[in-house]
Amino acid sequence: MAGMTISKLSKMKASGDKIVSVTAYDASFAKLFAQCGIDFMLVGDSLGNVVQGQSSTLPVTVEQIAYHTEAVRRGAPDAFVMADMPFMSYATPEQACVEAAKLMRAGANMVKLEGGDWLLDTIRTLVDRSVPVCAHLGLLPQSVNVLGGYKIQGREQSAAENTVRQALALQQAGAQMLVLECVPTSLGQLISQKLDIPVIGIGAGAQTDGQILVMHDMFGLNSDYLPKFVKNFLADADDLQSAVELYIRQVKDGSFPGPEHTFE
C-alpha cells in the first residue's frame, strides 16, 4: 500500500477499480491491513463505541483521535490514513483549523467531517490551508440525537434530492472524498455517478466507488448487534489475515455488499 494518495484514489474511481477501506485504531492492526493491501484506513470516532465502550461517538475527543492516529501511523508508515474530527471539534472554521492541525501532525493525510450545507465555509477554509477533507453524508452518527436514532437516510424523494445537492456542494467547496452511510442503493449509485470525487459507501450499496467497514464489525466482534450492512468475514476465513484478504477480494469483485447488506 506504499504511496497511496488522494490522486491515486481518484484514478481508481475513474478506472472503476473499487476502493477498499477499514477503520483502524492501533499499530498492530494497521500493519496487518497495510500488508493485506487495504487502500486506506480511517481512524474513526467509532473508537468511542468499539474501543471505549461508549454508547455513541459523542464522548470522543480530538486528543483521543490524535493518539490513535499516531499509533496507526507507526504501524503503517506508508498508508493513506484519514482521521475523524469528533463531535463539536469543527463548530466554526477557525476551530476546525486548530483541531485539524492536531490530527495532521499526528499523522493523518486527510480529515473527515460529518454534515452538509453548514460545513461549506469550513471545508473551503481547511482546503485553502492545505488540509485535505473527506465529507460525510447520509446517516451521521454525531447527529444521532437530532436524527432520533440510527435510521436509513434519503428514502423520500425530497431527502434524496437534498442529499445529491449537498454532495455536489461539498465537492464544489473542495472536499476530495465523500463517505455515504446508510442510504438506499439507488441513491448511493446516483451520487457516485454525479460526483467526480471518490464516494465510499457503508450501507450505501455496491455501486459506490468503494466500501468501508468498522474493523470490529468485519471480524464479527460486535456480536450483540451487527448492522444489516455488515458481514463477518472471519466466519469464512481461517485467520485475521485471510478475513481481511477476503473482504478486499469481495469488494473488488463486486460481490460485497450483496443485496442482503443493502437498503432499497
Which residues in the chain come in under a pLDDT of 50?
Answer: 1
Task: Please give the Cα distance from 185 to 245 (Å, whole number).
Answer: 25
Q: pTM, whole model, 2 decimals?
A: 0.96
On whether 242 is known to bind a ligand per the annotation, the reply is no
On whether 7 is known to bind a ligand per the annotation, the reply is no
**Closest by Cα among 158, 175, 159, 61 to 121:** 175
Q: What would the CATH number be for the domain defined by 6-261?
A: 3.20.20.60
On whether 8 is known to bind a ligand per the annotation, the reply is no
181 is catalytic: yes
Q: Are the C-beta atoms of 154 and 160 separated by less than 8 Å?
A: yes
Residue 21, CA distances (Å) to 130, 155, 233 in order? 23, 25, 14
**Predicted pLDDT at 223:** 63
Cis peptide before 257 (omega within 30 of 0): yes
**Predicted pLDDT at 36:** 98
**Predicted pLDDT at 2:** 53
**Predicted pLDDT at 253:** 96
On whether 238 is known to bind a ligand per the annotation, the reply is no
Look up residue 209 and give its amino acid. Answer: D
pLDDT in tens, 120-171: 999 999 999 999 999 999 999 999 888 777 788 999 999 999 999 999 999 9
Give me the helix-helix angle, 120-128 and 93-106, nearest 10°: 50
**Predicted pLDDT at 1:** 43
On whether 17 is known to bind a ligand per the annotation, the reply is no
**Closest by Cα among 154, 162, 193, 198 to 177:** 198
Listed by start position, the domains of the chain span: 6-261
> Exactly one of 181, 245, 260, 264 is catalytic; which is it?
181
